[in-house]
């Protein structure tokens, strides 16, 4: 996966994104994804959404695009600086999401969702490292297997 979102969360009613540090008896310890990196306990009463569980709806009812893949598409097309922000007008936001996911479901993806996506991408691109695609390790694993076959033929 291009970016690891397993320990990144959004907490309802609180701005920004948080890295989950460790569980406690009454909730989880989270650390803000900003320059301060302050820690706090998010209690079980808070609604915590893990980013790796979030997807964008497409017109095909059975297909959704995981948020990590959406972030990778944005990174490939725009890099770290994107042409819109959460205060852009609705037309610009819809044009942006259509550029990234041409077949997104227009009836189930709202402007508020696109604003969250844009602000989350800005935070993630700054504080969470993107990794290269995993095609290189697979190719490296295939080479020793091929050389083993050559040795057995001798």
Closest CA to 49 of 19, 11, 7: 11
pLDDT digits (tens, 9 = 90+) for 105-119: 999 999 999 999 999
Do residues 51 and 5 make contact, with C-beta atoms less than 8 angstroms apart?
yes
Using a cut of 0.85, tell me whether the model's pTM lies above it: no
pLDDT number for residue 132 = 62
Tracing tokens 């920004």 back to the chain, one arrives at: 16
CA gap 142, 138 in Å, rounded: 6
Q: Is residue 68 part of a domain?
A: yes
Tracing tokens 């037309």 back to the chain, one arrives at: 91
Q: Is residue 150 part of a domain?
A: no
Segment 15-39 shows an average pLDDT of 91
Please give the residue range of the domain that contains residue 89: 8-127
Q: Is residue 137 part of a domain?
A: no
Q: Is residue 146 part of a domain?
A: no
pLDDT number for residue 142 = 44
Q: Is residue 58 part of a domain?
A: yes
CA gap 59, 103 in Å, rounded: 6
Q: Is residue 18 part of a domain?
A: yes
Element (H, E) at 135: helix 135-153
Cα dihedral sign for 64, 68, 69, 71? positive
CA gap 154, 152 in Å, rounded: 6
Q: Using alpha carbons, list the distances in angstroms from residue 60 to 56, 74, 94, 102, 105.
A: 11, 21, 19, 12, 8
pLDDT above 50: residue 102: yes
Q: How confident is the model at residue 92 (pLDDT cuts 50, 70, 90)?
A: very high
Cα dihedral sign for 22, 6, 4, 86? negative
SS3 of residue 64 by DSSP = strand
Q: Is residue 154 part of a domain?
A: no
Please count the structural domains in the chain: 1
CA 64 to chain CA mean position, Å: 13
Q: Is residue 101 part of a domain?
A: yes
């Amino acid at each position: 996966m291009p970016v690891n979102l397993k320990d990144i969360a959004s907490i309802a009613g609180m701005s920004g994104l948080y890295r989950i540090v460790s569980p406690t008896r009454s909730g989880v310890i989270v650390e803000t994804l900003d320059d301060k990196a302050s820690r706090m306990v998010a209690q079980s009463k808070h609604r915590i959404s893990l980013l790796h569980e979030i997807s964008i709806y497409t017109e095909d009812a059975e297909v959704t695009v995981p948020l990590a893949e959406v972030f990778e598409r944005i990174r490939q097309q725009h890099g770290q600086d994107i042409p819109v922000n959460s205060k852009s007008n609705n037309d610009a936001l819809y044009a942006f999401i259509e550029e990234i996911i041409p077949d997104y479901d227009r009836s189930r993806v709202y402007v508020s969702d696109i604003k969250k996506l844009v602000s989350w991408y800005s935070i993630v691109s700054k504080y969470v490292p993107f990794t290269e695609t995993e095609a290189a390790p697979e190719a490296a694993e295939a080479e020793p297997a091929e050389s083993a076959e050559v040795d057995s033929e001798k």
